[in-house]
């Protein structure tokens, strides 16, 4: 399928539910989306199946979509196509294209390979900007001969929440390409489709984090502001 096709299939295709993904803390369903002869597997996270958290507001579905949109706005292409669907089988929720990952690779198996280190640094920077509170090793996938980042329901909080396994590059300078992307991001208004997914405070905090990373010029190290800097489980 051409690049626009997966988004169209997710947005308008018929949705067939196959079952729940074992071990997921929220309702996370494997589905097939079909449109005009095209079909793809997707992960469907219905709002009705979201577990309430004491330290995060509701809205896992919108944050999943916002993470995809942020990745696209930055030009980093890290997050598979993700959309909101209001007419899905169990009500409103997010749909994300399933990438055909190899089933064995994750961050801890990939981090020492030189060819992947530039994109892993990009994921580390993305998590800082998105304020990702749940970057487990298994949320980095090798698929389609590239790396993808998934599972962004715990992002965009207005308070510092960064919890990640990707601390190997802490203290390293961000490269010129990342700096240019961040510079472009902070100088332009937030695109309307991304802004609509976040409240006013979340939008301000997002831009402030991008500014701070750009001004610091280095990937952060765990500090007092990073309460519990590692997620659990690690993989």
Locate 5 and state its tokens.
């096709």
Whether residue 228 is predicted with pLDDT greater than 90 in this model: the reply is: no
pTM metric for this prediction? 0.95
At 94 the three-state DSSP class reads strand
With a pLDDT cut of 90, the percent of the chain lying above it is 93
Helices 117-130, 200-216: axis angle to 10 degrees equals 140
What mean pLDDT is reported for the chain?
A: 95
Is it the case that residue 226 has pLDDT exceeding 70? no
Residues 6+ positions from 78 with CB-CB distance below 8 Å: 71, 119, 122, 123, 126, 147, 148, 149
The predicted pLDDT at position 24 comes to 84
Q: Is the pLDDT of residue 2 over 60?
A: no
Q: If you average pLDDT over residues 61-87, what whole number do you get?
A: 98
Q: How confident is the model over 135-187, as pLDDT tens digits?
A: 999 999 999 999 999 999 999 999 999 999 999 999 999 999 999 999 999 99
pLDDT computed for residue 61 by the predictor: 97
């Amino acid at each position: 399928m051409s690049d626009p096709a997966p988004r169209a299939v997710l947005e308008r295709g018929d949705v067939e539910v196959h079952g729940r993904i074992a071990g997921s803390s929220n309702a996370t369903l494997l589905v097939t989306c079909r449109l005009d002869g095209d079909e793809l597997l997707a992960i469907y996270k219905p709002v009705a199946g979201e577990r309430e958290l004491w330290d995060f507001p509701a809205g896992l579905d919108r944050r999943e979509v916002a993470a995809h949109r942020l990745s696209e706005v930055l030009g980093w292409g890290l997050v598979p196509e993700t959309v909101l669907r209001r007419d899905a089988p169990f009500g409103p929720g997010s749909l994300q294209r399933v990438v055909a990952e190899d089933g064995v690779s994750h961050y801890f198996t990939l981090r020492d390979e030189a060819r992947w280190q530039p994109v892993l640094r990009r994921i580390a920077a993305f998590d800082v900007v998105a304020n990702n509170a749940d970057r487990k090793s298994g949320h980095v996938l090798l698929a389609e001969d590239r790396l993808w980042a998934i599972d962004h329901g715990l992002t965009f909080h207005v308070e510092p929440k960064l919890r990640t396994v990707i601390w190997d590059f802490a203290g390293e300078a961000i490269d010129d390409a990342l700096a240019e992307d961040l510079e472009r991001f902070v100088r332009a208004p937030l695109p309307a489709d991304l802004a609509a997914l976040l409240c006013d405070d979340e939008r301000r905090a997002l831009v402030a984090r991008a500014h701070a990373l750009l001004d610091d010029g280095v990937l952060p190290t765990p500090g007092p502001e990073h309460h519990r800097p590692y997620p659990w489980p690690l993989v």
